[in-house]
Structure 1
Amino acid sequence: MILIKNIDTYKPKHIGRKDILTSFDKIAYISEKINLPLSNFPKSEIIDGSNLMAIPGIIDLHVHIIGGGGEAGFTSRAPELMLTQLTTNGITTCVGLLGTDGTTRNMGNLIAKARSLEIEGLNTYVWTGSYKVPTRTITDSARGDIILVDKIIGIGEIAISDHRSSHPSNDDLIHLATEARLGGMLSGKCGILHVHVGDGKNGINPLFYIRKNSEIPFSNILPTHINRNGLLFKQAIEYAVDGGFVDITTSIRPEGDDDVVDPVVAFQELLKHNVSPYQITMSSDSGGSSPIFDNSGNLIKFGIGSPSSNIEILQNIINAGIPVEIALIPFTSSPAKLLRLNGKGVLSEGSSSDIILLDKNLKIHSVICKGKLMVYNYTPIIFGNFENHSI
């Protein structure tokens, strides 16, 4: 049990100063004042929240937990992410996925890593597939993966408008979206087709085609990287205004004179167009490479997405003047609702005890995940195997 005293609490809705008591992996009570019995009561950790703020743990729906990349050869394959790289940045739930390379990395590797992080203390899920179509699976079909493998919640990241994709046809995408939806219906999962959108001139036109020529609801398709260039972002605004869901990548940020749309600006613009924050999610693409190609398709440079990008962009959004209640939604309650992760993304009695404590400068002071204190006083206290106990 953990008792957090007198903390300014956001559900994300602001409910003022409260005491929060967690019991195992659930929030047991939220009240004006909670006093524990002095005797015959389980030992509880007590945290003074007087100078802190409580928010739900971050749900990152796009994480290359076994590493991504490889576009510059074998030495450019990004390494696996370790537990504290995620927890120290407030990520309490992540959805792992493959990317460009579905050959030297596979679904078996991905599920094994997700289970490892789960044992170490994180909430984990997985997308089945990779850039390629026909896509990588564990069973004989993507639908079968969603139905039969507990960790798998949908299909992704399937690449479109990208020279690294297998250039699926519009009908290929409709088939995959149908497989995802039906798999989700039969298993009680979200059944989303999670789509990587590249810099190609076609943008998200294939998704407009799906909308016009199929019966797939908007809630079963989620395009990501929509802020990678101005033209794509304009399409994404149109798609969201029509009712679609979009994912902003927090690690994609402007450098120099490029055409990247800053994640903060992207969020502000979507809100200005009266897009509900519950149609917007934000994810880090952490562990994935960020290659830059010239007009001839030659690789100029590449970086790697960082788990820190989510909390950094959340801080920037709040500092830009957007209310905390709204700023939190694309990192917490919106992905929880879209991915059908019941009890997550919100601080309420009976919900998951995944909690971040922020200081007055919006820096992460402590992180509780599944009722365990993972980070305390700015320092990780639970480490994964093979970590050297330093960040």
Structure 2
Amino acid sequence: MFRLLKNGDVYAPEHIGKADILICNDKIVDIAEHIDFDYPGTEVVDLEGRKVIPGVIDQHIHVTGGGGESGFTSKVTEVGLSDLVRGGVCTVVGVLGTDSISRNVESLLAKVKALNEEGLTAYCYTGSYDYPSPTVTGSVGRDIALIDEVIGVKICISDHRYAGITRKELTKLAAAARVAGLVGKKPGVVHIHMGAGKKGLKDVFKIIEKTDIPVKTFRPTHAKNNLKDMMKLAKMGGYVDFTASPPSGCAAIMKEFMAEAPDGSVTMSSDSNGSMPVWNEKNELIGIKAAESTGVYETMVALHLEQGLPLEEALKPCTVNVAKALNLYPRKGCLKPDSDADILVLDGDELKLYEMYAKGKKMMAEGKPIVKGYFEK
């Protein structure tokens, strides 16, 4: 099927300006100032006055639900397809979190497979906060190398909920992920939940100093918990991930951080469907809520409209930067010929999400999802 998007103001994420985009099935065929194409059955969509950007890549979503820090009733529900569409999310990486007792990697993998069947692009990390890491095959390395959807391993450090992983064990985990990534042609990363604990990234820095494991193997998220260590890692050549909540507050911190950090080093993710617990100084739970899948998109908009970043710069942390970090570029994270047709259409000065195409399939029209998951009402 051919679809021709005409007259949109295209950000790829670099600003191209007014252009036409020709899509064939799931791929972008061409982008040009004017495309004449009259193949029978081609759908022509006029986007005059609207902006066109790459689809959001969200590398940290609890697709099977997170939480559980306040008993079984505090387990967050799994994400629905329409929830992701509302956030403009075309590519998702699923994670486990605190609870790997009543949740497991097998169910995470099954949910990721379901999201792929529903039209998105979905991956996951094996492991959780726990150590030794829960896996499907019994080995972190085998999970990463042999299971198509598994691209790395999740772990927790510097947090009162961590499993007591030592520096030596973290070194072995990173080495296993690194080698498995090479064997399986995957990123092979250690996706790190970094809490606000005393050690920060000290163990990671020591491993980088004492071993030959590349700095980019370590991918800490929740950057706001320790901005000093995160900046140090970024300047060493690593990637730093911000959790996009609350959007306005996150955008303000990100703008300041991005002004000093190396270009391309900053990404952001939503932590959607994970719990957002509030702890006091004694690490006692005093409140809890769930993150939403719209967080990344809303933070991107806030970076542009509230913090004054050019739109092409505001887009980078949720498009091209994360695509390169996960070895998905240029298939993902940009609008180019041969890229996947993951496309968002924005309406008005407030950049409201108007249309979404995931691998060429239309999933949102006039600001509303037009697809639902299997059991969504």
> Does TM, scored on the shorter chain, surpass 0.5?
yes
Q: 43-52 or 300-309: which moved more?
A: 43-52
Q: 1:115–1:42: structure 2 CA closer, same or farther, 3 Å change rule? A: farther
Which residue among 113, 119, 122 is the counterpart of 2:120? 122
Partner of 1:387: 376
1:295 aligns with 2:292: no
> Is 1:131 matched up with 2:142?
no
Alignment of 1:338-377 (within 5 A): 338-342=325-329, 343-360=331-348, 361-377=350-366
> Counterparts in 2 of 1:188-337, with a 5 A limit?
188-228=185-225, 232-251=226-245, 262-273=249-260, 275-319=261-305, 320-337=307-324
**CA displacement 1:269-325 (0-9 Å, x = unmatched):** 22222x234111100000100111222222101111110111110010001111111
Give a deviation string over 1:179-230, Cα, whole Å, max 9, x none: 11101000111001000001211112121112111111122110000113xx
User: Structure 1: which amino acid aligns with 2:171?
Assistant: I
CA offsets 1:128-171 (integer angstroms, 9 cap, x no match): 00001111101121000011100000011x11011111121111
For residue 273 of structure 2, what is the amino acid of its counterpart?
G
Identify the range of structure 1 (87-96 vs 289-298) with the bigger mean alpha-carbon deviation: 289-298
Given the alignment of the two structures, is residue 166 of structure 1 paired with residue 163 of structure 2, yes or no?
yes
Query: Helix, strand or coil for the counterpart of 2:207?
Result: helix
Q: Which residue of 2 aligns with 1:259?
A: none
- Quote the offset at 1:333 in angstroms: 0.6
| Alpha carbons 2:247, 2:296 under 8 Å: kept | no
Change (3 A) 1:362 1:253: closer
- Residue 332 of structure 2 contacts residue 342 of structure 2 at CA under 8 Å; is this kept in 1? yes
What's the counterpart of residue 70 of structure 1? 68
**2:181 aligned partner, one-letter code:** G
Q: Which residue of 2 aligns with 1:258?
A: none
Summarize deviations over 1:4-61 as a string: whole Å, max 9, x none. Answer: 1101011111111100011111001111112222xxx342222211111111000000
How far did 1:387 drift? 1.0
Within 1, Cα distance between the matches of 2:216 and 2:74? Answer: 35
Instruction: Give 3-state SS (helix, strand or coil) of 1:290's partner.
Output: coil
Q: How does 1:102-121 map to 2 (within 5 A)?
A: 102-121=100-119
Aligned residues: percent identity? 40
Q: Distance in 2 between matches of 1:308 and 1:88?
A: 6
Q: TM-score, normalised by structure 1?
A: 0.93
Task: Report how far residue 252 of structure 1 moved.
Answer: 5.1
Give the Cα–Cα distance (whole angstroms) in 2 for the partners of residues 324 and 243 of structure 1.
24
Query: How many residues in Structure 1 have an aligned counterpart in Structure 2?
Result: 373
**Equivalent residues of 1:161, 1:167 under 8 A apart:** no
TM-align CA RMSD: 1.3
2:4 aligns to what? 3
Residue pair 1:3, 1:46 contacting (<8 A) in 2 also: yes
Q: Is the 8 A contact 1:88 1:367 kept in 2?
A: no
Gaps of 5+ in 2: none
Contact 2:94 2:123 in 1 (8 A): yes
- Give 3-state SS (helix, strand or coil) of 1:92's partner: strand
Q: For residues 336 and 292 of structure 2, what CA distance do their matches in structure 1 show? A: 29
- State the one-letter code of the partner of 2:308: G
Alignment partner of 1:303: what SS? coil
Counterparts of 2:268 and 2:55, CA distance in 1 = 13
Contact 2:159 2:194 in 1 (8 A): yes
Cα separation, 1, equivalents of 2:78 and 2:346: 27
| Alignment-mate amino acid for residue 347 of structure 2 | D
Offset of residue 242 of structure 1: 2.5
Please tell me whether the aligned partners of residues 277 and 326 of structure 1 are also in contact (alpha carbons under 8 angstroms).
Answer: no
Higher mean C-alpha deviation, range 318-327 or range 264-273? 264-273
CA distance in 1, matches of 2:42, 2:121: 23
Cα distance in 1 for residues equivalent to 2:343 and 2:67: 31
Can you give the 5+ residue segments of structure 1 that lack an aligned partner in the other structure?
255-261
Equivalents in 1 of 2:376, 2:222: separation in Å?
30
Contact 1:277 1:330 in 2 (8 A): no
CA distance in 1, matches of 2:173, 2:245: 27
Distance in 1 separating the partners of 2:217 and 2:58 = 18
